[in-house]
Amino acid sequence: MERFASRLARNYSRGHKFNKDKYYKSKKGIWRLLLKIVYVFLFLLIIGAGVYALLISSVFRIKGISVKGNNYITSAAIINSLNDVISEKKWFLLKNDNINLFDLADAKKKIMIELPRIDGLDLKKDYPNKITVDIREREMADTLCQGQDGEKIDMSDNYMFYKCFFIDKNGIAFDVAADTQGFLILKIIDKRGEVIELKKF
């Protein structure tokens, strides 16, 4: 009986012998897993910080608009038109006042629709937070006046006044003009019966 008990004890101790290699391998595996978790966390943290810096922080918030090339159109009119675009929301959450989100094509289209006297327009982002506007204005070539009876405004000293517009060399009406007499400015009276609209002719 004693012999059986001693043999059983030897078999038990042999079967439950401490395995150092297996222990250290499992410990290394845990550390590797923890390092992977830390790396993933740091990666997400860097991505989040980058998104915040580029899209949300005040570093890239538009703070200045520079206008050049304008003679007749006031800088205030152009800046007001741009501010309307800047105040719009982007993706329902972010404001359009971030220079990285600011869409130059949309802003250019809006300005040229609102200010038909502009013939060409260049918009540029000056990082980190400024927009530069360089415009080319239309040059007056002639005056086009509405020639239908219903468009006549007034009669004075046998002279009939019309609703008139400035037109450029391409025949585009870009601004309302005062009706004038004399030969300094060529006046064209349109009797086709069509309604003249700004930037349409």
Q: How confident is the model at residue 153 (pLDDT cuts 50, 70, 90)?
A: very low
Reported as a single tens digit per residue, the pLDDT across 95-133 is: 788 898 888 998 999 898 889 889 999 999 999 999 999
Check whether the bond before 128 is cis (ω within 30° of 0): yes
Reported as a single tens digit per residue, the pLDDT across 19-48 is: 555 655 676 777 888 888 888 999 998 888
| Closest residue by Cα to residue 110 from 99, 121, 101 | 121
Higher-confidence position of 179 and 102: 102
Contact 96, 103 (CB under 8 A): yes
The whole model's pTM is what?
A: 0.62
Take residue 43 and report the two structure tokens written for it: 């990666």
pLDDT for res 136: 93
Q: With the C-alpha atoms ordered 52, 53, 57, 63, is the resulting torsion angle positive or negative? A: negative
Indicate if the pLDDT at residue 158 is higher than 70: no
Higher-confidence position of 198 and 148: 198
pLDDT for res 152: 46
Length of the chain: 201
Superfamily of domain 60-137, CATH level 4 = membrane protein fhac (3.10.20.310)
